[in-house]
Chains A and B, each alone.
Chain A
Amino acid sequence: MLMRIEAWGREEREPVELPESVRAETWQTLTYLMIAGGIMLFTTFSASYLVRRQSADWAPARLPDLVWVNLAVVGAASVTMELARRGGASARRWLGSTIALGVLFVAGQAIAWRQLAAQGVFLTSSPHASFFYMLTAVHAAHVAAGLAVLLAALRRAGNGQLGLCAAWWHFVGAAWAWVVMLLTFF
């Protein structure tokens, strides 16, 4: 078999480079697909929440007010992201601010966890609390992925891919807005 496949490997097996324009398109496809998958994930969790809340043991806890502050932070991060995307001289600075706000958001979420725990509300205290902890954690993972991409973008000075970073980042922000609404009003 090796002999047969030999010819495939006769040349140095460098991955084949794609032209810039095509590469940009594949990133676009990848990003939008991942957002679609992310939407499906949060939709599934939301549907589960709406089903689970109909059980007899449902008793929603009051979320720490901090989650609203965090919502404002993530909203602000979306604004700075847009400013960075618009380009111009201060683009990099706006990108840096976005990353800082993203980190601030995650820190804020961690503090919200501790506040809730200080009230004696833990993961297993009630199904509502289970959803709160689980959804914040799952969401934080998506923020972390966004931060990783933004950091990569920051290191590569000036590039055209910021639009896709922004798309993901807005998705993450919108997801948090949705999750807070769900946990508070439903």
Chain B
Amino acid sequence: MAIAQAVETGKAGHQAHGRDHGHPAGFIRKYIFSTDHKVIGVQYLLMAMLMSVVGLGLSLWFRVQLAWPGKAAMTPEQYVAIVTMHGTIMIFFVVSLALSSGLGNFSIPLQVGARDMAYPFLNMLSFWIIVPASAIMILSFFVEGGAAAGGWTAYPPLSALSGFGKVPRGSPGSGMGQTLWLLAMALFIVSFTMGGLNYVATILNLRARGMSLMRMPLTVWTYFVAALLGLLSFPALTAAAIMLLLDRHLGTSFFLPSGLVVSGQQAANVGGTPLLFQHLFWFLGHPEVYVLVLPAIGIAFDVIAAFSRRPPHGYKTSVWALLIIAFLGMIVWGHHMFTSGMNPFLGKYFSIATLLITAPFAVLGVNLLASLWRARIRFTTSMLFALGLISAVGTGGIGGLFLATATADLHFHDTYFVVGHFHLMIGVVTMTGTFAGIYYWFPKMFGRHMNETLGKLHFWGTFIGAFALFVIQHFQGFGGMTRRYFEYSADYVQPALALNPAVTWFAFLAVGAQIPFFFNFFWSMFKGKKAEANPWEATTLEWTTATPVPHGNWERLPVVSGKPYGYAEGANGDAHRMQNAEA
């Protein structure tokens, strides 16, 4: 595969632009329907921030119900709908948008030395498909029956019982709300798939001259692996969604089990296997969590390198670990279904395969940690978030070991132990990675620094709040507190319930800590301290271009001459060597 993008052509392209210099490009094409990956990246970030207000707000609402039952003004049906929408919005419309789409769009072309994504127009389309998807998701709260209430996993039978035609109605939310949920998710899949195609094509084909695969920053590696994983696993959910829609609206029987009676009404389209849906969902679902978590880890590698002034420990082993994680990640989905009934040998297999994954994960964790060994660390906000990520990877991973053991999982499944585990991973790891990236690249995005004091406030509030809240949830799971319950009555669970007010207070702390972040983000855009082109003295390509970044990213495309992390490679120990430095 020839990789180099001709420098000459880049220059020619630039001159072509220069021709129209001075013409005020239309506002709409510049900021709204822009094909520039940097603008699109920022658009995704803003969209994610908007959706996070909804998603986090929902979580505080049901946390009030859990801590002080009856005080939150909601019915049990509304409770499950709110939980469902919280999960869906946070995973697909906050973390995916901010981390995968937002920071990915901004950083990939800049880090590989390309002028834009391989398909800028497709890229713009990806974003503009997300806008109606988000709107539909939110509007589904206001249709008859309210929003979907079948969990973010949308398991049938509940999610299939639409109440349309001869299909009985499962719950208020399984009517129109679930249909809109599926529609929004379908749009999301289309957009995310197009985004993934763009990422892979950009990374494979548009790298600057000299940027061999093993010279790519780890951030790029993680986006690359994540995009491939997504492209190979989303089709499973697509197929499942098609069959679910047919069951819901046209009366087929892919997923509805025989003998199904819903509020006295015998369902007609039965004989199917709900378990099948679980397999298909998790065939996507498990890789999807890696799609989200890997780029967060990649960003942490870059950030830690820059602020510890050392190349990340074990670059090659990290790349191999990534590839092994990706491969194993596709064949462990069954660990979400230990209690759903499966052949014990199959359960054993899924158990062992899942435990195997912790090995490459541990490699990544150890490499992150070892990167800090004897380093002169600069404790910027970005660095703090990256350090927070390491500890969340460790803590969440330990929970994973318990869950991967089928015999233990029989107890833990569907308790708050699982909720605590996956929030540490898919919530804290991803968001600390995202914030590390935002504080790191903000000067490149907007030419100004974010405020460090507010940043540290943001970090400590988020870190303490989130850690306390999710670690306590593990213990509530030990105590038998099941998830997705509106109210609890059993005696044995009372001690676990007693922790609920504390959990809710920590949730308020963690969410409240985002207020200084929001303020900081918008305030710093206009009023932040002016930033130079390479304020962190980092060595990857995005820091070799001017700030603000010109359209087309570089006057002349960079030519890569060495490894991405040229820290402490200069004559006087503390110097650094840019990736495009003359040899």
Contacts and interface: CB of A to CB of B under 8 A. Distances in A.
Contacts of A2: 31
B235 A127 contact: no
Interface string B444-462: 0111100000000000000
B449 to A, nearest CB: 12
Listed residue (A2, A6, A9, A33) with the most chain B CB atoms within 10 angstroms of its CB: A9
Nearest to A55: B271
A119 B11 CA distance: 66
B42 to A, nearest CB: 7
Listed residue (A10, A11, A34) with the most chain B CB atoms within 10 angstroms of its CB: A11
A44 B283 contact: yes
Interface residues of B, number: 77
A8 B205 contact: no
A104 B523 CA distance: 61
B31 A16 contact: no
B246 A44 contact: no
A22 B5 contact: yes
Interface string B245-271: 010001111100010000000000101
Interface string B1-33: 110011001100100111111010100011100
Contacts, number: 187
A57 B23 contact: no
Contacts of B525: 1, 4
Interface of B, helix, strand, loop or mixed by DSSP: helix
Given A26-B206, A130-B246, A8 B550 contact: yes
A37 B228 CA distance: 10
A18 B206 contact: yes
A130 B239 contact: no
A60 B25 CA distance: 62
Given A4-B447, A13-B30, A41-B239, A48 B250 contact: no
B200 interface: yes
A130 to B, nearest CB: 4
B173 interface: no
Given A11-B20, A25-B1, A127-B272, A33 B446 contact: no
A126 to B, nearest CB: 9
Nearest to B238: A41
A11 B19 CA distance: 9
Interface in A1-39: 1-19, 21-22, 25-26, 29-30, 33-34, 36-38
A13 B17 CA distance: 8
Contacts of A1: 42, 446, 522, 525-526
A179 to B, nearest CB: 13
Given A1-B526, A124-B253, A55 B273 contact: yes
B31 to A, nearest CB: 6
A54 B272 CA distance: 10
A130 B247 CA distance: 10
Interface string A35-57: 01110110011011001100111
A17 B13 contact: yes
A134 interface: yes
A37 B250 CA distance: 26
B327 to A, nearest CB: 14
Given A9-B551, A18-B206, A130-B246, A37 B193 contact: yes
B200 A33 contact: yes
B280 A48 contact: yes
Given A5-B446, A11-B20, A57-B271, A52 B254 contact: yes
A52 B2 contact: no
Contacts of B304: none
B34 interface: yes
Interface of A: 1-19, 21-22, 25-26, 29-30, 33-34, 36-38, 40-41, 44-45, 47-48, 51-52, 55-57, 123-124, 127, 130, 134, 138
Interface of B: 1-2, 5-6, 9-10, 13, 16-21, 23, 25, 29-31, 34-36, 38-39, 42, 115-116, 118-121, 193, 196-197, 200-202, 204-206, 231-236, 238-240, 242-243, 246, 250-254, 258, 269, 271-273, 276, 279-280, 283, 445-448, 522, 525-526, 548-552
Given A14-B17, A51-B279, 11 more contacts: A7-B550, A8-B30, A13-B34, A13-B36, A15-B116, A16-B120, A22-B206, A44-B239, A44-B240, A55-B272, A56-B271
24 contacts: A8-B551, A9-B30, A9-B31, A9-B39, A10-B551, A11-B17, A11-B18, A11-B550, A13-B29, A13-B30, A18-B9, A19-B5, A26-B202, A29-B200, A29-B204, A29-B205, A33-B201, A33-B231, A37-B234, A55-B258, A56-B258, A123-B252, A127-B253, A127-B272
